[in-house]
Each structure stands twice: as C-alpha cells, then as structure tokens.
Amino acid sequence: MNSKIKDVDIYELGEKGKEISSPWSSTILLVKLTSSDGSVGWGEAPTTFMTLPVKESMKEVERIFKGADFFNIEKNIFDFYRNSFYLSKSMEATSALSAFEMASWDLIGKQAGAPVYDLLGGEYNSPIRAYCNGWYSDCKTPDDFVKKGKAMVKKGFTAMKFDPFGPHYDRITKEGARYAGEIVAALRSELGDKVDLLIECHGRFDTRYAIMGAREIEPYDPYFFEEPVHPELEVGLAEFKRYIETPVALGERILNKRDFTRLISQGLVDIIQPDLTNCMGILEGKKIAAIADAFGVLVAPHNAFGPVQTAASLNLDYTMTNFAIQESFEESWPDWKKKLLKVGYKLSGGHFTLSGKPGLGIEVDEKLLKTKIVDGMEPFDPKEPPWVVSGTFK
C-alpha cells in the first residue's frame, strides 16, 4: 500500500480587495498532499490577521509530514508536538498542523474508498442544520438587520448569528446596550419564534459590560451568547453565568482537547465551538466532542473560512451524537470561493449535505485555484478590526 506523502504544495488564495462579509477571510490557505501513488488530499488553515505566520508554520509542519505515512495521524501529530515547543499556545502552529491533519484524512478516505465520516463512526446526523453568518454587512440600525435577516429566512435558514454591538469594545455604554437590545427585539418581532438568534460578542467585553449587554438582549430568547468576555478572562465566564441564563458558547480560540476539558469541567461553557482549522484537526475534534458529551455539552463547530474547512467540519458533524448546529458563511462568499470546489457539499434550505464520495468528499478546481494565488498579508483597515463583519463597527 502506497501511503507515503510524496509532495506538499501550500497555496495562499485571494483576490484584490476584501470580502464584503468577512474581511478576516479575504485570503485562505490550502495544503495539497500528494501520496506516492498520486492520490491527493486537501486541508485548510485559517488566516485571521496572521496569514503569513500560518503560511510559514505550514512549512515547518511539512518537515514532519513529508515522507511520512499519512495513516499514522497520531504519530505524525505527536512528532510535531514534540518538536514544536510552543504548540499549546501557538495558534499559528496548531493551525498549520490542522491543515495537514485534515489533508491526511482526505487521503485516508480515498485510500479506503470511504468518506471520512464512515471512518469516524458513520452517519448519525444528516442533513446538517446550518446557521448563516456574514449576512449583516453594513447593518447599523434595527431596520437594516431586519431587512437582511428576512432575506436569509427566504433562503431557508432557521438560525442566524450576528453582532449587534457596533463600535463598542471592552466596555459598552447603557445606550449602546439598549440599542443592541433594540436590534435583537426587532429581529425577534419580525422573524418570529421559529428563527433562532445567535448573539456574537466576539470576546470583546470585560465581564460587567458583557453582563450589561446580555441583560438587554436576554428577554428576546437568544440561542446563545458567543464569547461574551475577553478570551483570557475565564474567571469572568463564571460571573457572567451567575446573572445570565442563556447558554454560553465559545471555542474558536481554544487549541486542543485539554484546554477544552478545563473549561467544560468547570461548567464555564454550554456549547463548544472547536474550529477544525486550528484545534489540530478532525481526530482532535472528535476527541473534543467526546469529552463534551461526557459533560452534556453540545458542539457547534466554528467555520468561517473556506470550503475545505466546511467539508471537514461536515464530516465530523455527521458523526457527533451531541451535535447542535453548523456555522455557514457560504451565502456571503465571493464567487471564486463558491466555485473552488467542483465536487463537495450542498447547502439548500438552510441545511448541508455531503457528496458521500471518499475522503472529505471534495474535488478542488485546480484551474481556478491557480488564478487566485496571492502572496502577502490580508487587507487592513485601521478604522475597523479585521474580525468584524464589514461595515458594522462604525
């Protein structure tokens, strides 16, 4: 069996200008692993204001994986862990590693002639309920949010995530908190009770201000509050939960199962959001989900970048008994990103389905890929952080 990784190709993709919905994803990073028998596996790494550092880290991971047996995922990851001294605290390193891990699973599935989800326990959830994100670019008033929210409902979505906090960061005024509440109230009034409203806080607040904002929103029955406090303020989560009954969701900045275990076991999170492009990949994601399941915690994977990430996330979603809902930016992507896969998954009526083909179930359009190769940092706007949806921080 020819299961050695013969060649590694790393691609930075993008186009001039930034995306309308997601400036942090104006570039994406892909890795292509080619086996000794010519099979190809694809993986993806995130680029949130760190495109070039992650790209360089991918070259470090290549030194471990090139020539290795792609079936030996545990060994290859541990070999990198042993060599990467700061791995547990370096999102650049774990992101690079995640891309190679993901691509290894794509190769394994193709070698076995089975989709990855069949190798992880088989199909448990299908179709996969999605929530839309990125839909509220340039929204500032309640009417702005309602108009665009209705458009997403017409597309079939029954859940949507958004950040109603405008330019407030670290602290929020009473007026700002009330205005956020008015935005959520308007959506609830116009969309009704059958649409779930997921509140994105972006880890932007000190604890007392997170509570202030959440109190104004909680009467309108949000699905969750995501990252209500700064990510390093773990102690603030316990205080937040003393006053707010709505579930707390977080996890896109947590890099491994051990750090997830600490937060879960302390009762600080209700819904975890591992990102398969930075938490060391699909197998680690499966382990994280199992730990969460032992504590009755649900899983809603973070998914904000490109179609290879989505395909990997869906393969895991299919298998999880404690799956909640899947993030989707697809409706807000530029055309090139929508067309990057010739074969893959479908999004219809607010639900995802996979192709069922071996590996991740995808085929990348390499002709299109070659027209989108770029080199450099992602765009930067000094007036608006790169992590917001465009036009909402002003």
Q: What is the mean predicted confidence (pLDDT) over 83-98?
A: 95
Buried b (16+ CB within 10 A) or exposed e, 348-384: eebbbebbebbbbbbebeeeebeebebeeebeeeeeb
CA dist 149 and 195 (Å) reads 10
CA dist 253 and 307 (Å) reads 20
| pLDDT value at residue 156 | 98
> Residue 333: which pLDDT band, with cuts at 50, 70 and 90?
very high
| pLDDT value at residue 364 | 98
CA dist 68 and 144 (Å) reads 52
For the cut 90, the answer to whether the pLDDT of residue 139 exceeds it is yes
Number of H-type helices and E-type strands within the chain? 13, 15
Reduced to 3 states, what is the DSSP secondary structure of residue 151?
A: helix
Summarize pLDDT for 184-228 with one digit per residue, the tens.
Answer: 999 999 999 999 999 999 999 999 999 999 999 999 999 999 999
Residue partners of 294: CB distance under 8 A and separation at least 6 = none
- Among 168, 230, 302, 351, the active-site one is 302
For the cut 90, the answer to whether the pLDDT of residue 379 exceeds it is no
Buried b (16+ CB within 10 A) or exposed e, 47-68: bbebbbbbbebbeebbebbeeb
Percent of the chain with pLDDT over 90: 93
Q: Where are the domains of the chain?
A: 5-113, 118-360
Reduced to 3 states, what is the DSSP secondary structure of residue 8?
A: strand
| pLDDT value at residue 380 | 84
Summarize pLDDT for 341-352 with one digit per residue, the tens.
Answer: 999 999 999 999
Higher pLDDT, 118 or 17: 118
CA dist 384 and 254 (Å) reads 24
| pLDDT value at residue 113 | 98
Spatial CA neighbour of 105 closest among 336, 282, 267:
282
> Residue 49: which pLDDT band, with cuts at 50, 70 and 90?
confident
The burial class, CB within 10 Å (0-12 / 13-18 / 19+), for 16 is exposed
Q: What's at 248, amino acid-wise?
A: V
Q: What is the mean predicted confidence (pLDDT) over 373-392?
A: 91
| pLDDT value at residue 394 | 77
Least confident of 30-39, 317-326, 371-380: 371-380
Is 302 labeled as catalytic in the residue annotation? yes
Summarize pLDDT for 250-274 with one digit per residue, the tens.
Answer: 999 999 999 999 999 999 999 999 9
Is 5 within 8 Å of 35 (Cβ atoms)? yes
For the cut 90, the answer to whether the pLDDT of residue 230 exceeds it is yes
| pLDDT value at residue 61 | 98
Reduced to 3 states, what is the DSSP secondary structure of residue 309?
A: helix
> Residue 16: which pLDDT band, with cuts at 50, 70 and 90?
confident
- Among 168, 202, 230, 351, the active-site one is 202
Is 230 labeled as catalytic in the residue annotation? no
Decide yes or no: CATH 3.40.50.300 for domain 5-113.
no
Buried b (16+ CB within 10 A) or exposed e, 182-215: bbbbbbbebbeeebbbbbbbbbbbebebbbbbbe
Is 136 within 8 Å of 329 (Cβ atoms)? no
Kind of pairing, strands 363-364 and 298-299? unpaired
For the cut 90, the answer to whether the pLDDT of residue 167 exceeds it is yes
What are the start-end ranges of the E strands in 133-181?
A: 159-162
> Residue 21: which pLDDT band, with cuts at 50, 70 and 90?
confident
- CATH code linked to domain 118-360: 3.20.20.120
> What pTM, to 2 d.p., does this model score?
0.97
What average pLDDT is seen over the chain?
Answer: 96
